[in-house]
Structure 1
Amino acid sequence: MQPTDPSRADTLHGGLAQYPAELFQFDPRMCSGWLSDRYFVRTVNTLLHAGRDPVVTVQVFAKRKGVLAGVHEALRLLQTQLAPGYDYRELEVDTLLEGDAINQGGEDDWEPVMHITGRYGGFGHLETPLLGILARRSLVASNTRMVVTAAGGKPIIFMAPRHDDWRVQTPDGYAAQVGGAESVSSDAAGAWWGVRGVGTMPHAMIAAFGGDTVEATLAFGRYLRDQEPGVQLLSLVDYDNNAVETSLAVARAVRAEFGDDVLKGVRVDTSERLIDDSMIGDPEAWGRAKLTGVNPYLVRKIRAALDAEGFDYVGIVVSGGFTPDKIRRFEKEGIPVMAYGVGSSLLGHSKGDSGLLTDFDFTADLVRVDGGDEGKVGRSFRENPRLVRVDWDRA
């Protein structure tokens, strides 16, 4: 192991200080192997039955390039979920940092992201949950990083909680933050990094007001004024499938009741199966480009309409089917977007043709036993000068 870069060591231990073990609420049955592939538990039991408890080094790597996430959680797992009778301070762990880019030389790099050395009986059962943590967190973080990079500094709203099991909202939201998301749509998704969920309004709110977007927005504005004055007012404007007219109607009504600068933005979420009514027959766009969903022509038309009536302070948030490629096109063309809302695709729910990942698996191999090299063919111990040694006293 080469000497640790002091600045990277400070980053690692400073991060751990922000994420204590109790934050992750590990299942108490984890230390017994209940959440592990059974063959790991039987391996440990077989060794102990044979009177063996070797000191081993386990090497963890991923088979694709991306962003590493879940490091703090994985280290707290090792610290708190060892088998009874083992001391985590006897573990020697070298790791990359939360948010590090990995395998940047290509997906054949198989860059080690972590080396764990200690008595196998103490941590052998933790391979399954540890790899699962890194896999899920790195998938979400990697996809989010791609979207954030494509947006060129404009905010990304993580809107994925509705697209998966509620039990993963909090860690998914944390992983999105590692990837660069600036906000999340639920309180649970922001719990580990200390933020509350943001949001404009759903279509359900408009429907509950009889399909009247203006009335729903005004009611929402009154609620925010009286109950959550620090939250910005944004309106959802595609309910009637005429985002231009709805945006203007909302902006006029909000200005009449609350004054200028109160409506901070409008969100457009037009279905990719629909063409907004304002685009039908438009000589500047009709027949010249794909006009379904949220498209550049529609956003520009909304922007021009708002500006023409003095609503230049009202930003435009877009959501619905946004991938890195689509965001890059918007940015390249200078489409006047304030922020992007991105949802299920960040969780890997895509066909793989969007530029986003559908999986991010990690593998662990036992590569040293009692100080000697040992491992299956092709999976030998590999040095990585970027790894940082964990100092348990600082953790």
Structure 2
Amino acid sequence: MAHDRLRLDPATFQLPVGRLRAGHYTDAYFNSTKELLEAEGRHPRVIMQVFQKQDSLLGGIDEAVAVLKVGAGCVGPDGVWAPGFDDLVVRALHEGDPIGPRETVMTIEGDYAQFAHLETVYLGCLARRSLVMRNVRAVVDAARGKPIMFFPARHDHWLVQTGDGWAAHIAGAIGVSTDAQASWWGGRGIGTVPHALIAAFGGDTVAAASAFARRYGTQLNVTVLVDFENHSARTAVAVADALGPALWGVRLDTSESLVDEALADLGPDAPRGVNVELARRVRAALDDAGHGHVRIVVSGGFDADKIAHFEREGPRSTPTAWGPRSCAARTTSRPTSCASTGGRARRSGARSARTPACSACSEPYLTCTATLTWLTPSSVAEPAASGPKASSVGLAFAKLASPPATAPISRTTFAVSRNSAGLAPSSRPAAVL
């Protein structure tokens, strides 16, 4: 079965080619392995199988392939880099493909010394992008067709924006908040009227919204925060009265520590933050004022479960759009990002001994693993399916690194699992690169 799906050009990723080739971003033991093999004149022909251990979507595969294309090779006797990708046989699935536990998503066949120094990098690309894709898809599904925007930029390092935005786009998000996040498909960042602009207009939401609509109304759907005065229903109607058909939507983003004044009659047990009853009352206020065209966007603490809860409440309370939580590696405080449309995705992050899972959602981290099998003249064929010994534990790089034999399994934080069998190949044809 032929694959005609195009991959992103390696130039898209602006990879630091020199540093990749030098092993600057590589675990030191891979660099020493490459150096020793070359010094000893050893050129073992292997097949590397890359996999992960959850039901997920495949992300970062085009970037991983790009890393191999520009980074495989060695320094020749003349001191000049000799590219090695053309000597490898690489097969891979595509961006956004659904994948199962331990399913092979990419194979690399050839002289191990040509690409040993790249494993850390291409596995990292796959792990992060697949994580973002899986989490975004979870909220896309929960939102039941309502468009989702991806606003995680403030919660992570700026360098991750491009790839994370692409992953969210492939997973189903209809918009992102920065131009960098949209750059891989030639898009632009979009957004709403922020609290900061309202504050700059002296706390006058109507004045800020009117100025925003005059300047940007022909370029985007005008969506206005209406919780600045903590009376979302009243402010929503005031903004809609002022902007009329120029207003696309209002956004509810009440702090989780506050009760909106629209719910004051409910007494001390009134729900805090953005909740179903608040959405109902804002919807009713807009409808009663003749603004049925105005959509409601909600943000603040939403994940797939909370979105599903809102959706179950029925059409009277279901917002038009959702404010998504970031879907990226978490290294900072709890996310509070917002969105113009869509769902709020679960967030995961950098794993450490003290933080075994994301503190915001307890979502396990997605890790990608590689399995390496030595190829001998009698075992050049695709590796056969294996039993439990082919898997590894934790953040593991499982390497089938011995000729056919029965060697013990050794597992550490970054485990090396040794046995003679390979992983089951993908049941779908992989693209031949």
Q: Settle same-fold status: TM greater than 0.5.
A: yes
Q: Shift in Å at residue 174 of structure 1?
A: 0.6
Q: Is the 8 A contact 1:170 1:190 kept in 2?
A: yes
Cα gap change, 1:222/1:364 in structure 2, threshold over 3 Å: closer, same or farther?
same
Q: Distance in 1 between matches of 2:24 and 2:59?
A: 24
Alignment match, 1:275? 259
Equivalent residue letter for 1:78: L
Q: Shift in Å at residue 242 of structure 1?
A: 0.7
Within the alignment, does 1:322 sit opposite 2:314 as a pair? no
Higher alpha-carbon deviation: 77-86 or 304-313:
77-86
1:194-233 deviation per Cα after TM superposition (whole angstroms, max 9, x unaligned): 22111111110011011111110011111114xxx22121
Q: Is the 8 A contact 1:346 1:356 kept in 2?
A: no
Q: Is the 8 A contact 1:145 1:180 kept in 2?
A: yes
1:2-28 deviation per Cα after TM superposition (whole angstroms, max 9, x unaligned): xxx32xx223xx2x1xx1111100012
Q: Distance in 1 between matches of 2:20 and 2:299?
A: 39
Cα gap change, 1:387/1:355 in structure 2, threshold over 3 Å: closer, same or farther?
farther
Cα gap change, 1:50/1:378 in structure 2, threshold over 3 Å: closer, same or farther?
closer
Alignment match, 2:138? 146
Q: Distance in 2 between matches of 1:191 and 1:239?
A: 32
Within the alignment, does 1:243 sit opposite 2:232 as a pair? yes
User: Where do 1:87-126 residues align within 5 Å?
Assistant: 87-103=84-100, 109-126=101-118
Alignment match, 1:310? 290
Alignment match, 1:384? 425
User: Where do 1:127-276 residues align within 5 Å?
Assistant: 127-225=119-217, 229-255=218-244, 261-276=245-260
> What SS is found at the alignment partner of 2:182?
helix
User: How many residue pairs were aligned?
Assistant: 364
Alignment match, 1:36? 26
Higher helix share: 1
> What SS is found at the alignment partner of 1:384?
coil
Within the alignment, does 1:344 sit opposite 2:385 as a pair? no
Alignment match, 2:390? none
Alignment match, 1:57? 47
Equivalent residue letter for 2:425: N
Q: Shift in Å at residue 81 of structure 1?
A: 1.4
1:103-160 deviation per Cα after TM superposition (whole angstroms, max 9, x unaligned): 2xxxxx4222211111112111110110010011011111001010100110111010
- TM-score in terms of structure 2 length: 0.79
Cα gap change, 1:352/1:166 in structure 2, threshold over 3 Å: closer, same or farther?
closer
1:163-199 deviation per Cα after TM superposition (whole angstroms, max 9, x unaligned): 0000001111111112211111111111112221111
Question: What is the aligned counterpart of 1:359 among 334, 345, 365?
Answer: 365
Q: Shift in Å at residue 377 of structure 1?
A: 3.5
Q: Is the 8 A contact 2:91 2:108 kept in 1?
A: yes
Between the aligned residues of both structures, percent identity stands at 42
Higher alpha-carbon deviation: 235-244 or 81-90:
81-90
Q: Is the 8 A contact 2:164 2:328 kept in 1?
A: no
The alignment's C-alpha RMSD in Å is: 2.0
Cα gap change, 1:35/1:205 in structure 2, threshold over 3 Å: closer, same or farther?
same
Q: Is the 8 A contact 2:132 2:327 kept in 1?
A: no
Q: Distance in 2 between matches of 1:54 and 1:328?
A: 52
Higher normalized contact order (CA 8 Å, seq sep 6+, divided by chain length):
1
- TM-score in terms of structure 1 length: 0.87
Q: Is the 8 A contact 1:318 1:341 kept in 2?
A: yes
Q: Distance in 1 between matches of 2:83 and 2:328?
A: 38
1:242-293 deviation per Cα after TM superposition (whole angstroms, max 9, x unaligned): 10011011111113xxxxx2101001111111111110124xxx577x6111
Within the alignment, does 1:294 sit opposite 2:286 as a pair? no
Q: Distance in 2 between matches of 1:382 and 1:167?
A: 34
Structure 2 residues not aligned, in runs of 5+: 74-80, 331-346, 349-356, 384-399, 402-416
Q: Distance in 1 between matches of 2:216 and 2:327?
A: 31
Q: Shift in Å at residue 321 of structure 1?
A: 0.8
Structure 1 residues not aligned, in runs of 5+: 104-108, 256-260
